[in-house]
A and B are shown apart, each in its own frame.
Chain A
């Protein structure tokens, strides 16, 4: 039939035979895409008298928004925190590889490093070349020495004189930075939190020995995330729940949600703890991989940031210790494990990896399949194994038959 679309002549693709995640439910609906955005087919039908040019048969698969990983340190031999000549090549490699885990957007994470390492990685859209970069996640150096985890102590910093000036001195520039993790008990940090939020950077609390009131104060100033809950913070105590208490704090300003990252690899958090967090505050749970450069590589010794780590099976330790160095689980593995460990619904598991991170970063056109949103999608089978990944409506990865 000749084209009679009044708004645009761009081709329209109709995904049929799928169950899409919309409105927190899996619905048997077709998904329509034009020019990389999800289209309202009813408007197309009545306003433009338009119809689909291509049909993609999803064979009954589940269709979810593409996963968003807000904490990933590298993978496939690439370490984002390692000073190197060609940073963008490393980011590109990882961004291409993680498509097969269903990740369509991510925040390359830089751990505590000397000043020279905070080079610029540009925000850019995803596509066939790889997942989109939403901005850097700067984890440290303004963190607690007692909870440094795998971060090298010699590069930790505190806010000396000018708060935000110290931060700018450490990082150079905040362009292309999506998130900063800091410890709110550090003197001078509250004004920094406020200033960062004012500039549109998401502030996360982590690697900290803060008590609950210090954490609540930071949330008051605009902090909205907790970096890998339970790890690198004071354990929950019934008289001072610490940062963990934010999940049920009544001092969170109304209308705001405190999100928290969980590494659901079965190692960083005991499934019982995962369940406690999930049951206490399900809408805030954000699945993250916190993957290190060894993700995707065979076992052995590797370098992470400024330290050496050792991989044994699914575990990665700081060499010579039993301190966890980071995870090597992939995002889709985390989604499956999360669903299995908590017994949550498929919709909840998928939203924890897509909708919640998008809400955290205030990205309204990502993490959902509403009309007008970016057509970043994943197709999954009923066990949440990935079948295909799409960015802007184009297939960028497909599982080999």
Chain B
């Protein structure tokens, strides 16, 4: 598992959105080979969707060849109801982007035969070639989608009765009237999500901290269904500081230490970069690295290892003039403080994993 810890909700959302964006770009989806994306709803991914819309508007990404499969939908709620997950996805995502409506799949909670609907959904996922990346959230009771405590860890898409915790958590969307919250939902199973090639779980807020602790620091347990992803080969948990409040300091330090920083110079956009070479450089002084103007510099936090990328031509863009970078966490400030740059994470283990952390000016 990867645990990526960002300072706050906005940064966590931005990281996740950039990750999703870059994955889609890297995949190079076409009409014959769509990128299948599993999607969540709720307040946690809201900002992530906003960011993805931003990237679409600025031309960084197109959703034309992206197929989406939502995790769940309430049973018996009219599709046009403002709290239905259809409405959520339309208002917060689909209406702002260029996705083909035929590529959008959301479970129909008003279907005549709910079981047939669930089976058909599984078939559609299989037809689409499986899910490339499933994005999800976590409930305060540790559930993924509506796989409430006690759900089989190999379950498939099915009808579920919602747990009290979930109904209480969702009441705020129904005027705090518990009786108005639907009591049943259609949901993808834990097994369905486990079948995805990659899973990204977004967890933000102190109220999710205990669930995160149970999910990653305790055993695999059907009472905390997210824990099933301990057995998935490629899961990333993206969280903010608050969500880590119940974790052991050791866990947090370990995962923070493995993140990589890189400078993305002002004026330079992702599309201008040409990644050519990834080189691990050990124990070279920062001074020498920063003198070079044709490289993006990456620094492994907590260690002295650096990663260097050869940038290549940027065309008529601004020249790569590294003014200097100021960091905390034990690094000596060797240059005057520069502007706060957006940092793009590049992991030398897998070239195109992306994420970031914001540099702080040193005291």
- Footprint of B on A, CB under 8 Å? 1, 4, 30, 41-43, 45-46, 48-51
User: Smallest distance from the beta carbon of A232 to chain B beta carbons, Å?
Assistant: 48
| Given A42-B86, A46-B86, A50-B101, 14 additional A-B pairs, CB 8 A | A42-B90, A42-B91, A42-B95, A43-B80, A45-B94, A45-B95, A45-B101, A45-B104, A46-B79, A46-B101, A46-B104, A48-B101, A49-B101, A49-B102
20 A-B pairs with C-beta separation under 8 A: A41-B90, A41-B95, A42-B80, A42-B87, A42-B90, A42-B91, A42-B95, A43-B80, A45-B90, A45-B94, A45-B95, A45-B101, A45-B104, A46-B86, A46-B90, A46-B101, A46-B104, A46-B106, A48-B101, A51-B100
A50 and B94 CA atoms in complex are apart in Å by: 13
A-B pairs with lowest CB-CB distance, top 7: A49-B101, A42-B90, A45-B101, A49-B102, A46-B86, A45-B90, A51-B101
State which residues 84-143 of B face A: CB under 8 Å. 86-87, 90-91, 94-95, 100-102, 104, 106
Most buried by B among A45, A50, A51: A45
Nearest neighbor of A43 in chain B, beta-carbon distance = B80
A4 and B91 CA atoms in complex are apart in Å by: 22
Chain A contact surface mostly? loop
Nearest neighbor of B95 in chain A, beta-carbon distance = A41
Complex contacts, B100 vs chain A, CB 8 Å: 1, 51
Nearest neighbor of B98 in chain A, beta-carbon distance = A51
User: Smallest distance from the beta carbon of B278 to chain A beta carbons, Å?
Assistant: 39
Complex contacts, B94 vs chain A, CB 8 Å: 45
A42 and B308 CA atoms in complex are apart in Å by: 47
A30 and B91 CA atoms in complex are apart in Å by: 11
Complex contacts, A42 vs chain B, CB 8 Å: 80, 86-87, 90-91, 95
A49 and B94 CA atoms in complex are apart in Å by: 12
Contact of B102 among A4, A30, A41, A43 (CB under 8 A): A4
A50 and B100 CA atoms in complex are apart in Å by: 9
Complex contacts, B80 vs chain A, CB 8 Å: 42-43
Complex contacts, B101 vs chain A, CB 8 Å: 45-46, 48-51
Complex contacts, A43 vs chain B, CB 8 Å: 80
A41 and B90 CA atoms in complex are apart in Å by: 9
Mask: chain B, 54-86; 1 = CB below 8 Å from A; 0 = not: 000000000000000000000000011000001
Complex contacts, A30 vs chain B, CB 8 Å: 95
A140 and B91 CA atoms in complex are apart in Å by: 51
Complex contacts, B106 vs chain A, CB 8 Å: 46
Complex contacts, A51 vs chain B, CB 8 Å: 100-101
Complex contacts, A48 vs chain B, CB 8 Å: 101
Complex contacts, B86 vs chain A, CB 8 Å: 42, 46
A138 and B135 CA atoms in complex are apart in Å by: 65
User: Smallest distance from the beta carbon of B349 to chain A beta carbons, Å?
Assistant: 40
User: Smallest distance from the beta carbon of B279 to chain A beta carbons, Å?
Assistant: 45
A4 and B90 CA atoms in complex are apart in Å by: 19
A21 and B87 CA atoms in complex are apart in Å by: 21
Complex contacts, A49 vs chain B, CB 8 Å: 101-102
A48 and B79 CA atoms in complex are apart in Å by: 14
Nearest neighbor of A40 in chain B, beta-carbon distance = B80
Mask: chain B, 242-268; 1 = CB below 8 Å from A; 0 = not: 000000000000000000000000000
A250 and B235 CA atoms in complex are apart in Å by: 67
A49 and B67 CA atoms in complex are apart in Å by: 13
User: Smallest distance from the beta carbon of B65 to chain A beta carbons, Å?
Assistant: 12
Complex contacts, A41 vs chain B, CB 8 Å: 90, 95
User: Smallest distance from the beta carbon of B31 to chain A beta carbons, Å?
Assistant: 10
Complex contacts, A4 vs chain B, CB 8 Å: 102
User: Smallest distance from the beta carbon of B211 to chain A beta carbons, Å?
Assistant: 32
Most buried by B among A41, A45, A46, A50: A46
Complex contacts, B79 vs chain A, CB 8 Å: 46
Mask: chain B, 138-154; 1 = CB below 8 Å from A; 0 = not: 00000000000000000
A48 and B80 CA atoms in complex are apart in Å by: 14
Complex contacts, A1 vs chain B, CB 8 Å: 100
A265 and B273 CA atoms in complex are apart in Å by: 60
A131 and B90 CA atoms in complex are apart in Å by: 35
User: Smallest distance from the beta carbon of A18 to chain B beta carbons, Å?
Assistant: 14
Nearest neighbor of B96 in chain A, beta-carbon distance = A30
Nearest neighbor of B91 in chain A, beta-carbon distance = A42
Complex contacts, A50 vs chain B, CB 8 Å: 101
User: Smallest distance from the beta carbon of B109 to chain A beta carbons, Å?
Assistant: 12
A48 and B104 CA atoms in complex are apart in Å by: 12
A50 and B102 CA atoms in complex are apart in Å by: 8
Most buried by B among A42, A48, A49: A42
User: Smallest distance from the beta carbon of B66 to chain A beta carbons, Å?
Assistant: 15
Nearest neighbor of A47 in chain B, beta-carbon distance = B79
User: Smallest distance from the beta carbon of B100 to chain A beta carbons, Å?
Assistant: 7
Complex contacts, B104 vs chain A, CB 8 Å: 45-46
Complex contacts, B95 vs chain A, CB 8 Å: 30, 41-42, 45
Mask: chain B, 221-249; 1 = CB below 8 Å from A; 0 = not: 00000000000000000000000000000
Nearest neighbor of B86 in chain A, beta-carbon distance = A46
User: Smallest distance from the beta carbon of A122 to chain B beta carbons, Å?
Assistant: 38
A252 and B101 CA atoms in complex are apart in Å by: 50
A43 and B95 CA atoms in complex are apart in Å by: 12
A49 and B106 CA atoms in complex are apart in Å by: 13
A41 and B87 CA atoms in complex are apart in Å by: 11
User: Smallest distance from the beta carbon of B39 to chain A beta carbons, Å?
Assistant: 15
A42 and B81 CA atoms in complex are apart in Å by: 11
A30 and B80 CA atoms in complex are apart in Å by: 18
A41 and B106 CA atoms in complex are apart in Å by: 17
A50 and B104 CA atoms in complex are apart in Å by: 12
A45 and B3 CA atoms in complex are apart in Å by: 36
User: Smallest distance from the beta carbon of A50 to chain B beta carbons, Å?
Assistant: 7
Complex contacts, B102 vs chain A, CB 8 Å: 4, 49
User: Smallest distance from the beta carbon of A19 to chain B beta carbons, Å?
Assistant: 16
Complex contacts, B87 vs chain A, CB 8 Å: 42
Nearest neighbor of B108 in chain A, beta-carbon distance = A46
User: Smallest distance from the beta carbon of B108 to chain A beta carbons, Å?
Assistant: 9
A30 and B95 CA atoms in complex are apart in Å by: 9
User: Smallest distance from the beta carbon of A195 to chain B beta carbons, Å?
Assistant: 42
State which residues 17-67 of B face A: CB under 8 Å. none
A48 and B95 CA atoms in complex are apart in Å by: 15
A4 and B102 CA atoms in complex are apart in Å by: 9
A50 and B86 CA atoms in complex are apart in Å by: 15
Mask: chain B, 157-174; 1 = CB below 8 Å from A; 0 = not: 000000000000000000
Nearest neighbor of A30 in chain B, beta-carbon distance = B95
